[in-house]
Amino acid sequence: MPHEISPNPMLFNTPSKNSRGLKGLNSLTNGTEEFIDDRELAQRKAEAAAARRNQAAEWLRQMDHGAAEVLPSEPSEEHFCLSLRNGLILCNVLNKVNPGAIPKVVEIPIIDTEGAAQTAIQYFENMRNFLVAVGRMKLLTFEVSDLEKGGSSGKVVDCILCLKGYYEWRESGGVGVWKYGGTVRISSFPKGSPSSLIGSESADESVDESESSQFEELLEYLHLSSEVSLQESKVSNALTFLFDHLGIGLLQTYLTETNELDDFPMNSMVIDIVLRKAVKDLSALLISQGNQLGIFLKNMLKGNCKPLLKHEFLRDISNYIDQRSGLVSNEFSKFCRCSGKGKVVYHDIGYSVDKINILDVQQKQLEELKASFHMTKLEVQQAHLTWGQQLKKIAHHTKDLEVASSSYHKVLEENRQLYNQVQDLKGAIRVYCRVKPFVHEQSDEESTVEYIGENGNIMIVNRHKQGKDARKMFTFNKVFGGNTTQQQIYEDTQPLIRSVLDGFNVCIFAYGQTGSGKTYTMSGPDMTTEDTWGVNYRALRDLFELSEARMDVINYEVGVQIIEIYNEQVRDLLVIDGSNRKYPSNSFFFFFDHPCLLLCLDNLHIRYPKQFSAQRS
């Protein structure tokens, strides 16, 4: 399949009014800027489009009789699309260009009951067959909707001109390169310079006739041999590459511009100016190349060089073209992109200096961000390292704690045993005496307590007796005087509560005559005031506090039973059913399955049962 040159109308199909021949292009290289307004630009574009459409229509008319009937030589855009919409002309022409490309063309639409819809489907089949065939031939194609109102008729025109170019190329023997809208021939080199490759319309008519005839002689000499076609093809390929490269470069530059900066003036005038400037520079380069090649060839024809054989001549031309292609390619690369860093340069586009600065600033910021990212990464790595070390330390400490904890439990057990041994040594049964102070109305009376010793002795005096019988000494574990506080009373009992939680039974009760202060000592005068709490409350408070403190080690269950012993009758005070409250027998035994704290809440006028014991297990 032949090589096709990119059909960008902005670059390659400059309308004749605005087209520039050799001299016109030269005049653009003097650095003067030419500006046109949007209106003029639009007008030029419309003219160019109409010219191309007319060219396409004319060719279709030549190729197909049917087209000559329905399609005028200068149709309006609407008429043009309308005439082609049924696909009939296009299919017929394509079958002429490439016989058998579309085997079945719907010539006369069948109008049946379903009417227009059916007709449209048949037309559509023509269009579809045409587009498929064109696509298969790797030619320019378009969408069916481009023939509808609002579609891009330019694409349809491109397709037809492309087909035309292909057809002409085939007709001329299918050698070398081709492009629609203008054939590429070696004869166009000297006459129109390489700029003629841009489009057939751009040939400079003012070229010297004598020069032209000299080149015709040259062509004669070369006999349009296949070698010439090969060189022609090489030149065209090189130029095509350059055009493509330029186009992509421009597009990239433009997109980079518009993406980076929101305020880029995106109007068609600016784009047109940029493209025109690019085309101008490209054309200048091509002219320069063409001139040099022209001079080279002229010199050869005039005999300035020594006579060459045909193959030497071809070799020299080939070398020359290779060399120049490389140079031009470098120029365009420089134009579009900086080599190396892929940074876009704008020295050929004056309006973007500010944007370069912005890009530089952004580049700088990016580098700063990279540096800070690098720093953060290092910090994270450092933190990771430190955490790792700390984790190791913690693991080490945890092991130490495990060891310490196991030895702590051993020590605790030892401590428990020693503690309870101390309690044992203090006495399994301890009897304390508390002297009741005089209450208000008794304040004038004389106390019978004559002496209270530190070792638990108390001396009682009977003032009604004389001599030896008047004084009696009693010994207890400890004697508490009349001004002893509730806390002091409890202090000697407190260690026994811990023993209960260590698995020992403890019984605490008060004994004494009526009004001697049993209730006062065991319960206290005022339950609501903690300072006056008696032994019972304090013992229970410690019991719960201790069991709570040991919660992590031991789970204690605390149960309560409250009984009343009165008149040798035992009653369970927590039984709701009154009939069962009494215990069946008069005798009452305490059986301690579990460590027990027996507290006497109130009077214990004991004649206490022989079996009663509060022995420690």
Binding residues for ligand ATP, rule: CB under 6 A, are 436-437, 439, 512, 514-520, 525, 603
- Residue with Cβ nearer ligand ATP (439 or 560): 439
Q: Which residue is nearest to ligand ATP (CB)?
A: 517
Closest approach, Cβ 449 to ligand ATP, in A, equals 13
DSSP-derived 3-state class of residue 227: helix
What one-character DSSP code corresponds to residue 176? S
Q: At its nearest, how many Å lie between ligand ATP and the CB of residue 523?
A: 8
Amino acid at 357: N
In the three-class reduction of DSSP (H, G, I as helix; E, B as strand; rest coil), residue 599 is classed as strand
Please state, in angstroms and rounded to a whole number, the distance separating the CA atoms of residues 480 and 488.
9
Q: What are the φ and ψ backbone dihedral angles of 576, each rounded to 5 degrees?
A: -75, -40
Structure tokens at 33: 């800027």
Find the shortest distance in angstroms from Cβ 427 to ligand ATP. Answer: 24
In the complex, what is the shortest distance from the CB of residue 490 to ligand ATP, in angstroms, rounded to a whole number?
13
Burial class of residue 335 (count of CB atoms within 10 Å of its CB; 0-12, 13-18, 19+): buried
The helix (H) or strand (E) run that includes residue 259 is helix 226-260
Tokens (6 digits) for 61:
């008319």
DSSP state of 194: G
Nearer to ligand ATP, 111 or 431 (CB): 431
Between residues 544 and 566, which has the closer beta carbon with respect to ligand ATP? 566
Q: What is d(CA 433, CA 480) in angstroms, rounded to the nearest whole number?
A: 6
| 311 residue type, one letter | H
Q: Which is nearer to ligand ATP, 412 or 606 (CB)?
A: 606
CB distance 108 to 123 below 8 Å: no
Query: Which residue, 434 or 616, has its beta carbon nearer to ligand ATP?
Result: 434
- Please report, to the nearest 10 degrees, the dihedral formed by the alpha carbons of residues 316, 322, 324, 330 taken in order: -160
Residue 432 CB, nearest distance to ligand ATP (Å)?
13
Which residue do the tokens 């953060």 mark? 376
Nearer Cβ to ligand ATP, position 199 or 517?
A: 517
Task: Say if residue 301 is exposed, middle or buried (CB neighbours under 10 Å; 0-12, 13-18, 19+).
Answer: middle
Q: How far apart are CA 403 and CA 409, in angstroms?
A: 10
- As given in the structure block, the two tokens for residue 169 are 């190329």
Q: Nearer Cβ to ligand ATP, position 465 or 605?
A: 605
DSSP conformation class of 468: G
Pick between residue 95 and residue 603 the one whose CB is nearest to ligand ATP.
603
Q: Are 491 and 412 in contact (CB under 8 A)?
A: no
Q: What minimum distance in Å lies between the beta carbon of 461 and ligand ATP? A: 20
* Residue that has been written with the tokens 């301690």 in this structure: 592
Measured distance CA(243)–CA(260) in Å, rounded: 25
CB of 475 to ligand ATP, least distance (A): 21
Q: Which CB atom, from 457 or from 484, has the smaller least distance to ligand ATP?
A: 484
Tell me the closest approach of the beta carbon of residue 487 to ligand ATP, in angstroms: 13
Nearest distance, CB of residue 477 and ligand ATP, angstroms: 18
Given the complex with ligand ATP, which of 326 and 525 has the nearer CB atom? 525
Nearest CB to ligand ATP, comparing residues 26 and 521 = 521
Cβ atoms of residues 590 and 612 within 8 Å: yes
Tokens found for residue 291: 């001139």
Shortest Cβ 472–ligand ATP spacing (Å): 22
- Nearest distance from C-beta of residue 444 to ligand ATP, angstroms: 17
Which C-beta is closer to ligand ATP: that of 416 or that of 436?
436
| Tokens describing residue 209 | 């006739």
Instruction: Give backbone dihedrals phi and psi of 406, rounded to 5 degrees, phi first.
Output: -65, -40
User: In angstroms, what is the minimal distance from the CB of 437 to ligand ATP?
Assistant: 5
Q: Provide, rounded to whole angstroms, the least separation between the CB of residue 583 and ligand ATP.
A: 22
Please say which residue, 2 or 512, places its beta carbon nearer to ligand ATP. 512
State phi, psi for 71 to the nearest 5 degrees. Answer: -110, 115
Give the strand pairing for 597-599 and 569-572.
unpaired
Beta bridge partners of residue 564, listed in sequence order = 571
Alpha helix segments (H runs only) across 261-352: 268-302, 310-336
Q: Distance between CA atoms of 589 and 600, rounded to whole angstroms?
A: 15
